[in-house]
Amino acid sequence: MTEAAAHGKPAYLDVSRSFEERAKDLVSLMTLQEKVSQMVHDAPEIDRLGIPSYNYWNECLHGVARAGIATVFPQAIGMAATFNTALVKRMAEATSDEARAKHHEFVRQGDHGIYKGLTFWTPNINIFRDPRWGRGQETYGEDPFLTSRMGVAMVEGLQGDHPRYLKLAATAKHFAVHSAPEADRHHFDAIASPRDMRETYLPAFEALVREAKVEAVMGAYNRTNGEACCASTTLLADILRDEWDFQGHVVSDCWAIRDIWENHKIASSPEEGVAMAVKAGCDINCGEAYLFLLGAVEQGLIDEKTIDTAVERVMTTRMRLGMFDPPEMVPYTSIPYSVNDSEEHRALSHLVAQESLVLLKNDGTLPLKEGLKIAVVGPNAADAEVLVGNYSGQPSRSVTPLEGIRAAAGRHGGSVLYARGCGLLDTDESGFSEAVAAATYSDLVIACVGISQLVEGEEDPAKPWADRPDIDLPVVQQRLLEALARTGKPLVVVLLNGSALAVNWADSHAQAILEAWYPGEEGGTAIAEALFGEYNPGGRLPITFYTGVEQLPPLEDYAMQGRTYRFFEEQPLYPFGFGLSYTQFAYSDLEVTPRVAAGQSVNVSVRLTNVGPVAGDEVVQVYLTDDQASYPVPLRSLVSFDRVHLAPGESRRVGFTIGYRQLAAFDDEGTPVVEPGTFTVSVGGGQPIAQGGAPFVTGRLTVAG
């Protein structure tokens, strides 16, 4: 007899049993109505069983979101630009510390409301296949491998490494094949070939399930190949659970379940729709549609045993989070509230912002010289809101680009004149004269331009924006840049944005361009440090910057041909993986495993040397090209990377391992096939293409027959 049984406690409170056993016992004690009540995101208490109310809806895309004051890190697309998985994991650990501290304080005060729980609907690992998509800023970019590595780091940092308890429950979303059009997402059918599914859209989800053991997966709004994602037997049963052995729970996107009958029209009634979703494997409904399950059982559309399975999964997650155990058994309950918005976390946000910066152009104007009179202009220069992007928390204080530049100019014997010049989108040019005057009486102009949440974001009937019709800089801002350039003063452009901008004019006319993304609460400090040379920018683009929408297929087309660096055959404005530095790096002495047999990995190493005048970071990138595939394959694919810091003159050998599976092509059915033949391995500071301008070396390997 266990200790719990000896004291008359039910089995679900017996901490000596497995969480799965305890969850099964707890569900067996519930009525059907109680079970169904626990399958919506705002689950009520069941007092007789000691189950408190719980709201599953919580967000932490780049810091704890929508729950008051919290450390705000750079937006996810900026994290991807760091190409630094260890740093992203540290950021996720800091976020989970704040999340735990906040949650336990809320519980102590009896607050079980929305954004107060431990189940977080993060990360977004959809592939940013088109820069017009308003939510691409939430992702880790266009590459499946980079997205996988960043996503795994994020999940591991959020969920922790305790052998028994989850720190938080992370959620891989939106499963699957989801990335615009936002306005049509409730009825859109994303058609993707088996090859594109396996080669592009599914790898990151598989990595998070198999490697990071992500606790939850969120179904997308849209259909994929005819099936509503939240009721897709193919996605949720065949692939997620049967093939990948997923053990956690599945949650719908918010109000996506009602789309099954209202918009996708693949069910004739609410009862049929909810039964389809649960039978396919969707366990929690963000919304209230699952309350129709009671009628679905009465109509014989679903049996109670299937509902039991779903609720057992949900309750297992809550138990793994320690919600049914004494607090002293759960180590995360002791995290002090003081970690929230701490100076340590602010410093980490600053570091992530620094490493996210990508220098796109520099004719030698940067770093800025001492004693300059600087004109700072542009709609994003003094706007604190643009620092945070969407799904963010509220910083207790933030540093705008203007504030950061003012402080840095003071440290370097300079001065600043400020003029906004224009708004983000309006056509009013009345502020141009003030901006031109500031430029005229200065030595140099820093123009902080770009876009914001006013231009790109999530579908919302109350707002006019979501996806962008084009990728150009807003017209009024472009005209402002041209007016500033006519003064003859050197022009430095700082971009703040969550997706690619076709800044062709700036590339031709500005002296320097710095990409800053939505850089978080310390963004202004990081930007200024890079401009003045106190920090050497080393980030790389996680997306392709195209010259315009004319280089892109239609937004609604989910075929990968012609999209992203892997399948794009034209010359972009700036390629994926691109970024400059204030120093230079040289590659030499490449070694590649010359021949591999089935199941063997490939070892790659190269000597990297900082041959420039200052210390800096180099993102060493490894690309693979299948030279003899009998199936259509990408032009090249990123298969490994490492961010390396070297002092001037320092040299280091950098090594990588490429798994045998990474050598696979995909046949017409999406089956991976490693064929005999030769591969080109390219290692360097960017893609092995002329317009990238990055140094690289190449080698060959042969796969034995």
- 227-228 sheet: strands from edge to edge: 189-190, 223-224, 227-228
Separation of alpha carbons 119 and 112, rounded Å:
12
DSSP string, 550-569: GGS--TT----TT-HHHH--
Could you give the C-alpha distances from 432 to 53, 428, 451, 483, in angstroms and in order?
55, 9, 18, 7
DSSP state, 188?
-
Please give the domain boundaries of the chain with CATH numbers for all domains: 3-334 (3.20.20.300), 346-567 (3.40.50.1700), 585-703 (2.60.40.10)
Question: pLDDT per residue over 637-663, tens digit each?
Answer: 999 999 999 999 999 999 999 999 999
Annotated catalytic residue 456 = yes
Separation of alpha carbons 438 and 376, rounded Å:
8
Q: What is the model's pTM?
A: 0.98
- Please pick, among 98, 143, 196, 253, the residue that the annotation labels catalytic: 253
Is residue 606 a contact partner of residue 589, using CB atoms and an 8 Å limit?
yes
Separation of alpha carbons 380 and 393, rounded Å:
19
The pLDDT of residue 1:
39
Separation of alpha carbons 560 and 687, rounded Å:
19
DSSP string, 66-117: SSSB---PPPHHHHHHHT-HHHHHHHHHHHHHHHHHHHHHHHHTT---TT-S
Low-confidence ranges of the chain (pLDDT < 70): 1-7, 690-692
Number of neighbours of residue 334 by Cβ within 10 angstroms: 11
For residue 336, whether the previous peptide bond is cis, meaning omega lies within 30 degrees of 0, is no
Separation of alpha carbons 438 and 697, rounded Å:
46
Query: Given the DSSP bridges, would you call strands 677-684 and 616-626 parallel, antiparallel or unpaired?
Result: antiparallel
The pLDDT of residue 465:
79
Query: Given the DSSP bridges, would you call strands 42-43 and 54-55 parallel, antiparallel or unpaired?
Result: antiparallel
Cα first-last separation, the chain: 60
Q: Which long-range contacts (CB under 8 A, 24 or more apart) does 457-465 make?
A: 457/134, 457/135, 457/390, 458/134, 458/135, 458/182, 458/390, 459/134, 459/182, 459/183, 459/185, 465/134
The pLDDT of residue 690:
67
- Please pick, among 98, 138, 403, 456, the residue that the annotation labels catalytic: 456
Separation of alpha carbons 208 and 206, rounded Å:
6
The pLDDT of residue 467:
96
Nearest to 636 by CA among 654, 647, 623: 623
Annotated catalytic residue 143 = no
Strand partners, 643: 619
